[in-house]
Chains A and B, each alone.
Chain A
Amino acid sequence: MPKVWFGRDLVVLDGLYKQLFLRSKEAIFWLVVFPTILFLILTSIFGNVEQNVTVKVAIIGESEILERAFSGIQQISPKFFPYSKKEKIKEYLKALERETFDVLVVLPEGFDAIYSRALLLRRTKFFKPVTVEVHYIPVRDGSKLAFEMVRGILDTLDVQDRVEMVIHNLSTRRVDYNNFIFPGVVGMAWLSVYLFGFMNDMLWLNRRKMIKRLSVSPFNLLKIYLFVAIVNLTSLVLGISILTFVAWLKGVDVVSYLPSLIFNSLISALVLTFLTLAVLVFENRSSAIVAFEQIFFQVQMFAGGFYFPLKQIPSFVQVVARFLPITYTVDSVRKVMGLNSIANNHYLVPLVYLLISISVVITGMKKFHKFEG
């Protein structure tokens, strides 16, 4: 009697689980444990990284008085913009959310004159305070720091009675570097699992002639590839689960991240699975594959804004980052917390990668099965 296909598939899947994951110490360490270790290392080293950076202050309106005041402080990089109407200010606020600035100061038109008049009339009944709007995002360490510096400067002008500061908090969520780095380490886990897990497993199956051995049986090879992908997806889920738990212990708002994290993990898994297969269609020499893995991994990890905001890396590297698919999925996870560097179109580049890779795999998979030599 023919065997039930489902049972057969489970036995094969079980065998692949044991071979490629459960009994592989390397896979367990690199794919499951290492992301968590990396998270702990990074949050320990870079937890206070933003305290020493230069803050960017956008000031709408003109003021020689403030220009002179800001010029004495190296850590502040002020930029004055012409006075705008309320509608235009919305665009500046969006720029603030995108971290183009750390703090936005809106001066009344003719600030210097109003300020001087207030100074002269301060003890008379004609006195009117000057109103200055300050917008910042207190959940961002950089923005909070910038706000404190701006307030300090306004204090030095002795404007306590004369300047009315209207403070706008753009977000109330608590966020710190741990919240920023968490999606970056998740991105690193995606790369590890698919570049060093799935890709190496596929290469191993091919080079150790397991594909050849299995291909003389009637079992569908595509199922084998699917099962290898499932094994790696499982290790990814396990690795990210442990990482998420540890991140939660470290105060990361994992509950807010979770839906986006799951969605972007699936998108990244899909893109990286087909990208891996597409590369293997072109090349299956171990040395070339190892070189590809290392280059893609390092470039994506360090130029892709995983560990530092994209805006803080040199502009030419930012250009490179825009061509890398996982830059977008990591940034998309960060968008939940308003920590994103890219405004929109998070899935365009990954989709292009996916479509090209699928086309290559469909047209060239036979090459991967070629056993003649």
Chain B
Amino acid sequence: MRKNLRTVLRVENLRKYYGSIKAVDGVSFIVEKGQLVSILGPNGAGKTTTIEIIEGLRTPDHGTIEYFGTFNTITNEVKERLGVCFQENFFFEELTVLETLKLYSSLYNRSLPLNEIITMFDLEESLKKRVRHLSGGQKQRLAVALAFVNDPELVLLDEPTVGLDPHARHHLWDVIKHFKSLGKSIILTTHYMDEAHQLSDMVYIMDSGKIIAWGSPQELITSSGLNAVIEFPATHAHLFEETVVTGDVAIISTPDAPGAIKRLLDVGVENFIVRHPTLEDVFLKLTGRRID
């Protein structure tokens, strides 16, 4: 088989079982150079386990991983070219931000100029602060900054925007887009649909250890066959056959939106929303439940 020189990661038929629990069950995907791939799924879907197998922290029961078209195991050379941000933050909390950046930079042969990282992640003001005095958002920014400190070719970001306020999230999205524009390949796990939609070239939707759908965000929406989506009170769910109820809200996707609206108005329902389908609706259609 001819190798694609643009492929930086190829994962094939990855499996990881813990007793009867199938944490990862036959996962395959590829990441091309300069591509941002999102793995989207609820908690417990197997996203972190997949990422940790790629990072070399867990051993798969089955399957292969090929890094940068050359390596079949995670060697130091591979680690040199990988950037990692864990789901949880782990720091030497008594060090300052600058000392932390220097320390992590020293773990690698290659590194980006620290000034560039500091500016990019908006860390100037907290440089002399000890990490333990940082806010949750500042810590998260630092954690993501550390993933880029070695000028990696492939970056693994595991839920990098959890706990950030909307402003900080959008800032981080801009930074990620910037690195993507520099030709970095990025794998992002998230359960935020808008994040996956905004940033991703490819989205792999994962549930119960399996990838249940994949494609670009638009491809996923289009191929799902979803039309207009109408949300209305769950008390009137009986009005339509293919209604999905989540909490107090009933959701339908219909090619005949005017007809559906008329039926709702006829029975006196006026508090409804009509919108375009999103990745969340795709997930809802595939699994019958919301992602959270």
Contact = CB atoms under 8 A, between A and B. Distances in A.
Interface of A: 2-3, 7-9, 11-12, 14-16, 18-19, 23-24, 208-210, 212-219, 371-372
Contacts of A215: 56-57
Contacts of B80: 218
Contacts of A219: 106-108
Q: Is the interface of A mostly helix, strand, loop or mixed?
A: helix
B86 A213 contact: yes
Give the one of B55, B93, B107 with max A CB within 10 A. B107
B94 A24 contact: yes
Give the one of B59, B84, B94, B110 with max A CB within 10 A. B94
Contacts of B105: 11
B109 A214 contact: no
B99 interface: yes
A209 B90 contact: yes
B86 A217 contact: no
Given A12-B107, A371-B57, A212 B90 contact: yes
A184 B93 CA distance: 35
Contact of A8 (B52, B58, B106): B106
B102 interface: yes
Given A208-B90, A371-B52, A12 B108 contact: no
Interface string B29-50: 0000000000000000000000
Q: Is the interface of B mostly helix, strand, loop or mixed?
A: loop
B56 to A, nearest CB: 7
Contacts of A18: 92, 94-95, 99
A249 to B, nearest CB: 33
A179 to B, nearest CB: 39
Given A11-B102, A15-B99, A3 B84 contact: no
B79 interface: yes
Contacts of B90: 208-210, 212-213
Nearest to A220: B76
B94 A23 contact: yes
Nearest to B58: A372
A369 B90 CA distance: 16
B79 A216 contact: yes
Given A217-B108, A219-B107, A209 B88 contact: yes
A15 B92 CA distance: 8
Nearest to B88: A209
Contacts of A218: 76-77, 79-80, 107-109
B230 interface: no
Given A216-B57, A217-B108, 14 more contacts: A2-B110, A3-B106, A9-B106, A15-B95, A15-B103, A208-B90, A209-B86, A210-B90, A212-B86, A212-B90, A215-B57, A217-B150, A218-B76, A371-B52
A16 B111 CA distance: 20
A301 B184 CA distance: 57
A149 B98 CA distance: 70
B82 interface: yes
B103 A11 contact: yes
Nearest to A15: B103
B86 A2 contact: no
A47 to B, nearest CB: 40
A214 B107 contact: yes
B106 A210 contact: no
Interface in B154-182: none
A372 B84 CA distance: 17
A299 B264 CA distance: 79
Contacts of B93: 19
Contacts of B100: 15
Give the one of B59, B104, B105 with max A CB within 10 A. B104
B57 A19 contact: no
Contacts of B77: 218
Nearest to A209: B90
A9 B109 CA distance: 12
A12 B103 contact: yes
Interface string B107-130: 111110000000000000000001
A15 B93 CA distance: 11
Given A18-B99, A213-B90, A2 B58 contact: no
A328 B142 CA distance: 49
Contact of B56 (A14, A23, A209, A216): A216
A212 B57 contact: yes
Contacts of A208: 90
Contacts of B106: 3, 7-9, 11-12, 219
Contacts of A8: 106-107
Nearest to B102: A11
A8 B100 CA distance: 13
Nearest to B81: A218
Contacts of B150: 217
Contact of B109 (A3, A15, A19, A372): A3
A207 B111 CA distance: 28
A257 to B, nearest CB: 35
A243 B214 CA distance: 67
Nearest to B79: A218
Give the one of B56, B109, B110, B150 with max A CB within 10 A. B109
Contacts of A7: 106
B31 to A, nearest CB: 17
